[in-house]
Chains A and B, each alone.
Chain A
Amino acid sequence: MTDVWIVVAVVGVVTVLFKAAGPVFLGRRALPPRIKSVVELLAPVMLTALVVTQTVGGDGELSLDARIPGVAAAAVAVWRRVPLVGAMAVAAVVTALVRALA
């Protein structure tokens, strides 16, 4: 319980400061170009790590299971420009079906 609240508090304060960075702290100054290109890569990099962990992550090991066909089907859905919630539904249904059949 306490751990959860520490995460909520720290992430909350840091996010408030990030969003205020331009309007309150930096004003019209631009970020240095190299810092900007590093910062802009953080979101895709972290999202990739989350996709990998959520697809093949296990308890301290790689675990290849029914999530893989589910996520693969969702990848096709995303590629075909199916909206976020549709892609999530595709992944859930395919994975649940594979689990039920296994």
Chain B
Amino acid sequence: MRQRKRSHAAHLSEAGRPGRLTSLTTAADARADTFPKLLARNARLRPKRTAFRHKDLGIWQSWTWGEVHQIVRAYARGLQTLGLKRGGKIAIIGYNRPYLYWTICAAQWLGAIPIPVYADSVADEMAYVLAHAEVTHAAVQDQEQVDKILSVSDQLPQLQHVLYDEQKGLRDYDHSRLHSIESIVEEGRARLADAQEAAAIDLALQEGRGSDLAIILYTSGTTGRPKGVMLTSDAVIAAAEIGCDFDKLDETDEIIAYLPIAWVGDHIFSYAQAILSGLCVNCPESPETIAEDRREIGATYVFAPPRVFESMLTLTMVRIEDAGALKRRMFHFFINHANKVGEKILNKEPGVGAWDRLLWSIGNVLVYAPLRNRFGMTRVKVGYTAGEAIGPEIFRFYRSIGVNLKQLYGQTEASVYITMQPNGEIRADTVGRPAPQVEIRIADNGEVLYRSPGVFVGYYKDDEKTAETKTPDGFVHSGDAGFFDQNGHLKIIDRAKDVGKMRDGALFPPKYVENKLKFYPNIKEAVCFGDGRDHVAAFINIDLVAVSNWAERNGVTYASYQELAGHPLVYDMIEKHVDEVNRSLSSEPRMGGAQIRRFLILHKELDADDGELTRTQKVRRGFIAERYAPLINALYDGSSEADISTEVTFEDGRKGVISARVKIRDMKPYPTTEPGSVLEAAE
């Protein structure tokens, strides 16, 4: 493998030069409206700057923009010899490898459309996407992916050639339609030695237009078959520009490319923005070495879904508990201090005393800086989390130790950017203001609609779905329900289809209300009802650990979970929590109607063994509604208590019956501040 890289370098110094000059002069004339043109621009502006790194054989191998440009140019010519044409489709399957990113660029050079596919999808899923997209070529990482493609090749009559990055294990395969990417680049390079050939490939580059399709990204499709989102070069470049301008990214920035290349986030961050701003893309050695690689590189621009931040934090907490007493106490002392003032210091808010600042600086030396180093975040300029809601404590933790972590809200159909959090306006519970050039409006059912320069053309070969999703005036249905708070920040509450309507037409977002309740440590689980009803009512599960702790401190005696759950003082405490939730709901636009009017505390814990939760601890609303029908009836018929008996499954598999008389409490709703008015997004 090392050999391969050396040979590139050698070729560059000999054959590469004359070709580069011609291509650069022509590229300079036109506006760079495609990624290959931008790559040529980078080769001219910053030929010696490192563009890509890949850790291989324990060493970070690197390529400059000049080298990458030459490779992609030769690669494009090589792909041409394999019959890839303007409008042709090439699938890209594998982890984040430089050659796979360059395949995207080489395909775009020819006006062909790259189609990245999730590397971990099973052969059948892959076959669906490849067949649907009618790919004629595929560039894959290794034997594993080659095997997958070969196993479904009977479903892919259009597929002509498969290219691979890693030779390992493929030596004895039939190579009539299988090629190493390296050999194709070499082939292209040899042909480009001819001046006519070189002129032809540069002409192909100039024929590319910004309005051409740049890429088709298949959405992972949690519901139904994946859909191919078609994005033009103009859209992807415009979207990438939004982010680059917003966070002032430039060629000195570094990013780690480790998220699936088929995912829009990686395509924008590790490909589009890298080429647009000239920042350096670092490809880790293997999926297992990311933590170590991240630390070695010290990226300045970081992107991770919440679970990555979560697992890093959990791992740290576990390790700290194993550390010596002194270290442990120091850690907890300074982390507590950071919790108090860290975020304010990061936000440059006034009102932090000199002593607190000093203490934070000491903590920075002793704890925060070493932690940031561990996480590979020493040099982070800005970090993003998106994809799903991040726990507020986790979010605050990173900010309090000085990592500028932000949230954004995006979708494949928007080329990512819909809303972003500007510096100084960062909150754990909102996703920020509309990104520059993005217009947002909220539909009557609470659904978020947006329009931006990054918006997609349509779903590939699915006009019906496209028409459903895009309005005639260019707005896109996000499928998410949300609203703007008083500060003009968007809050996403739930999937739009899960948001119910009450009888008076008010919105009822069950998950949103439940999450507010679950925010209290005393409440473990909550299930809200209200769709098609007059008012909202809730089942509440107390958290045994937290509440028994509270009981001990308050001299409440009890013999069982059931007794504790039914205790009047516990009811009083939970009532306070519900009241606070109601107050907060009443202050939010369009949420006032979802205030909880009646609640009860369940006599048993909801349990996956009883089918009430999924194995991933999500509430199975429908099942619970059926099982506890008498309780729901009681919640809505005004009675003050109800009898229930339910079958339970014990840990050893035996079954038993629990009966109880459950009390119901009434709540007084708060007046709603502004009845039903829709807050439009301020640009």
- Same complex for A and B? Answer no
